[in-house]
Each structure stands twice: as C-alpha cells, then as structure tokens.
Chain A
Amino acid sequence: GESVGLHLPTLSVQEGDNSIINCAYSNSASDYFIWYKQESGKGPQFIIDIRSNMDKRQGQRVTVLLNKTVKHLSLQIAATQPGDSAVYFCAEKSGGQNFVFGPGTRLSVLP
C-alpha cells in the first residue's frame, strides 16, 4: 500500500553546504527509483532516477546513491541553495505500474 507520513522529518542545512536526504524503501524486488522535489502548492517535480543495476547516478548538483543490501536510497545535493528548499520524496517501483512514495523530507536552507 501507499506510504502516508504523519509529520514530515525536516533537514536544515546552511546555504552552500551539501545536503543528504535519506530514504528507506520496503520492497527488495523494487527495480527503479525516482527522487522528486515538491514545492509548496505545486506538484512533484522529477529530479533524478536510478535503476537497481546501478549504485550511483549523478546529475547537475545532485547524486543518488542506492544500497540494495540495506534497501536504502539517498539524494545528495551539492552546494545547497535557497531554491532547493522543498519537500523531497523518494519513489520505488517493483514491477507493475505503480510507484510507492516515501513519507517525504522537508529541506530548509538557512541563509
């Protein structure tokens, strides 16, 4: 079933520092993962994806790491900027068509 969080965990980082957002997924058969960014009042925005045959994938200022042994996914944002403040969700897909979303993490960038 879908994951519904009660209270979003919050990560506060200083502007310019690196951010690491973590996500634990539930299904060891999941083979595709996506990180989304959601700003207030808007729909989720695709950031980066990774398949289960990879451990790491890099984008512009973002890196996703996948550890299948412990079912852990992380999103690293380099040189965090005020515009990075948002809620970040991980999503996993295991066959079928549906994605299961994590509870989300709110990133606050401090000036």
Chain B
Amino acid sequence: GAVVSQHPSWVICKSGTSVKIECRSLDFQATTMFWYRQFPKQSLMLMATSNEGSKATYEQGVEKDKFLINHASLTLSTLTVTSAHPEDSSFYICSARVPWGGGELFFGEGSRLTVL
C-alpha cells in the first residue's frame, strides 16, 4: 500500500497563534490531497481539496482565511490553522489518492490540535 504521513501527530498551542500541519505522500506523487476534520465519535468531515499548483477547493462553511492550505509540491500539502481558538481543537486528518488502480484513498495518521 501507499504511505501518507502527517506531522505533527499532536500539538498544543495558545489561543491566537497559528499552527501548521504537514501531509506528505512518501512513496507516490499526489496531485490531489484532502483535509478532514473529525470530532469525537463522529465521521470524517471534508474541509477542503488540496490541488498541487493551484488554489484549494473548500467545502461550504469552511473559512478559507482560517484554514490556509498550500500544496506546493506533488508530495506535500500543508494546513495552517490561523489565529487558533479553543473551538478549533480537533483531530485533523489528510488523505491522498494513489495514481494507480482504482485511485484508492490513503490517510495520514492524523494530527490532534489542542488550543488552550
């Protein structure tokens, strides 16, 4: 299978600061990556689709200026939570589609953000 890696796994920050989360496809190139948010005991909520070399596509209700997404290379997408507040505390997960077979979606390990 393919490997998608996220960093950091866990981050605690003060309210008002910005936090960057990285998503890397380790053994394949991904022109498209996806960012999700997951609340406890709930399913994955798609936040945005990250496109290499172009602007991300955000889902309805997701603030573009709040959640900045950059997909600068075929193996790296970053999500920056700007001016984080306690309500932004959540589990953030990225995924990427492999460019072979059925285009299976592989997920990163997730990043838990706690904003104090």
Chain B interface residue count: which class?
Answer: 20 to 34
CB contacts under 8 Å to A, within B44-58, are 44-46, 49
Say how far B30's CB is from chain A's closest CB, in angstroms: 11
In the complex the two chains form, is A43's CB within 8 Å of B107's CB?
Answer: yes
Query: Quick check: B59 and A2 within 8 Å, CB to CB?
Result: yes
**Total A-B residue contacts, Cβ distance less than 8 Å:** 68
The answer on a CB contact under 8 Å between B44 and A49 is no
Contact B42–A42 (Cβ < 8 Å): no
Complex CA distance for A5 and B38, rounded to whole angstroms = 10
Size band of the interface chain A makes with B: 20 to 34
Chain A positions 25 through 57: 1 when the CB is less than 8 Å from some CB of chain B, otherwise 0 = 000000010101000011111100101000000
Q: How far is the CA of A47 from the CA of B109 in the complex (A)?
A: 15
Q: Which of these binds chain B: A68-76, A78-86, A91-99?
A: A91-99
Nearest residue (CB) in A for B61 is A1
Known: A2-B59, A4-B43, A97-B97. A91 touches B110 (CB 8 A): no
A98-B43 CB under 8 A given contacts A1-B60, A41-B110, A46-B105:
no
Q: Which residues of B contact A32 (CB under 8 A)?
A: 102-103
Bound: A103/B97 CA distance, A: 21
Q: Hey, what's the 0/1 contact readout for A96-111 against B, CB within 8 Å counting as 1?
A: 0111011110000000
| Chain B contact residues, CB within 8 Å of chain A | 1, 4, 6, 32, 34, 41-46, 49, 59-60, 91, 93, 95, 97, 102-110, 112
Which residues of A come within 8 Å of B, CB atoms?
1-8, 32, 34, 36, 41-46, 49, 51, 89, 91, 93, 97-99, 101-104
